[in-house]
Amino acid sequence: MPEFINRLLNNLYFIFARLNWWNVVDLALVTMVFFAILLLLRDTQAMVLLRGVLLLIVLVSLLTSLEVLPAFSWLVRSTLPALLLAIPVIFAPEIRRTLERLGRAGSIMPAGRAGATAQDAITAVVGAAARLSERKHGALIVMQRSDSLDEYVGTGVLLQARVTAELLLQVFYPNTPLHDGAVIISGTKLVAASCVMPLSASGVLARSPERQMGLRHRAALGISEVTDAVAVVVSEETGNMSVVHGGRMIRRLDAERLENILRAFYRPLERRKGLAGLFASLSSRRSGTSREE
C-alpha cells in the first residue's frame, strides 16, 4: 500500500512539475467544450444514446485487451470503421437539434421579435388561458420569438387577426372547427389556427410521475425543441396551465406566474457577445426553464 501511494504521489509530482499556463488554458478550453455539449444534450434522447455508446466502448475495450480472445479482437477491429460511419446516421436528429440550439444560443439579437408590442399579446394569452383553465377547455398557444414558424403556419388555417382573449376562447371552444391543433401568435397577430406541431421524442413526459399529459403537451415540447418559441398549454383533463420553452416544461401555473414567465421571455435583453453571451444564454435555458413541476 505505501508503495502504491508513493507511485501515485510521484506521478502527480511529474504532472504538476511540467504544468504551465498554456496547459491550464488548454485544459480549461477542453472542459468548456465538453460542458457546453453535455448542457445542450441534457434531458434529450441523445444523452441516453451517448451513455449507451460510452458503456459499449468501455466493454469492447476491456474485451479486446484480453489476449485470450483473438477472434473477437479481430472482429471489433474489422467493424470499427463501419461503426464510426454509422454514428452520424444514428445521431442525425440530435446533431441537427444541437446545432440549432447552439446557433440560437450564440445569437446577439434581443429575445423578442415584436418587442414591447408582445406585451399586449401576453395579456390576451394569460387572460384566455386562465378562463380556459377554469372551464377545462384544452388549448395549445405557440408564441413566436426569433425563429420563423412559417412552415407550421402552412399546416393550419390562416387568420392574420389581432389577438384577443375572446378570439382565443372562441378558437378553443370544444367541437369548433379550429379547436384541434395549435394557434401561432407573432407579435400582436394571431397568424394561424389548427396548426400541426412536431411531437417530442425526448422522453420527458414518459419520465413524469403523472400520466395526464397527452398530445398537446408532446406537441408543445416538440415545437420548443426545434425552435425558440414559447408554448402555453391548458390541459383538457385537469385544467392545469403549463409553459414550455427549450424542451423544458413548467407545470401547474396560476395566471400571475404564467404572466410573469411570459413577460420575462419577451423582456428586452441586454446584448451580449462572445463566449460570455453564449454561456449566459445556455445557463438561462438551463435554469430558467428546467423545472418540471
Cell of 240: 392545469
Domain boundary among 53, 85, 105: 105
Sheet containing 189-195: give its strands across.
157-162, 189-195, 182-186, 139-143, 230-234, 241-245, 248-253
**∠234-236-237 over CA atoms, to 5°?**
120
181 with 229, same domain: the answer is yes
Q: State the CB neighbour count (10 A cutoff) for residue 152.
A: 23
Answer whether residue 172 is part of any domain: yes
Domain boundary among 105, 138, 163: 105
User: Among the ranges 118-122, 136-140, 246-250, which has the highest mean pLDDT value?
Assistant: 136-140
139 with 170, same domain: the answer is yes
Partnered with residue 248 across adjacent β-strands are 245
**According to the model, what pLDDT value does residue 109 have?**
41
**Which of 24-33, 58-67, 158-167, 237-246 has the lowest average pLDDT?**
58-67
User: Which residue range forms the structural domain that includes residue 146?
Assistant: 115-288
- Choose between 155 and 36: higher pLDDT: 155
Say if pTM beats, i.e. exceeds, 0.75. Answer: no
Domain boundary among 105, 123, 153: 105
pLDDT digits over 28-77, tens only? 898 998 887 777 666 555 666 667 777 777 777 777 776 677 777 777 77
131 with 271, same domain: the answer is yes
Residue range 98-126: average pLDDT? 63
131 with 257, same domain: the answer is yes
CA distances from 183 to 17, 141, 177, 289 (A): 63, 5, 13, 22
